[in-house]
Structure 1
Amino acid sequence: MKIGTVTVLGATLVALLTLSACGNTIRGVGRDTANAVDATQTAGRDVDRAARR
């Protein structure tokens, strides 16, 4: 294999690994956001119940 071919294959591999890591990060941020929304809603319900007592 030529040096240019090896360089292109290496760059492609690095790009694929980087993009897959970004996908995992974005998925994790989505989960964290959903959990934050759930916690906020639960806290709101708790405050509402406490205010009604």
Structure 2
Amino acid sequence: MKIGTVTVLGATLVALLTLSACGNTIRGVGRDTANAVDATQSAGRDVDRAAKR
């Protein structure tokens, strides 16, 4: 194998690993955002119930 081929394969591997890590991070941010929305809605319902007492 030539040095250039090894370099291209190495760079491709690094790029693929980087992109997969970004995908996991974006998915995690989506879950965190959804959990924050759920918690905010729950707190709003609690305040509404307390105000009606």
TM-score over 0.5 for the pair: yes
Distance 1:16 1:5 in 2: 17
Give 4+ residue runs of structure 1 displaced > 2 Å after superposition: none
Residue 50 (structure 1) shift: 0.3
Matched residue count: 53
Following superposition, the deviation at residue 23 of structure 1 comes to 0.2
Counterpart in the other structure of 1:29: 29
Deviation at 1:14, TM superposition (A): 0.1
Structure 1: gaps spanning 5 or more residues: none
What is the percentage of aligned positions where both structures have the same residue?
96
**Structure 2-normalised TM-score?**
0.99
CA-based RMSD of the aligned residues comes to 0.2
SS in 1 for 2:38: helix
Q: State the 1:33 CA deviation.
A: 0.3
TM-score, length-scaled by structure 1: 0.99
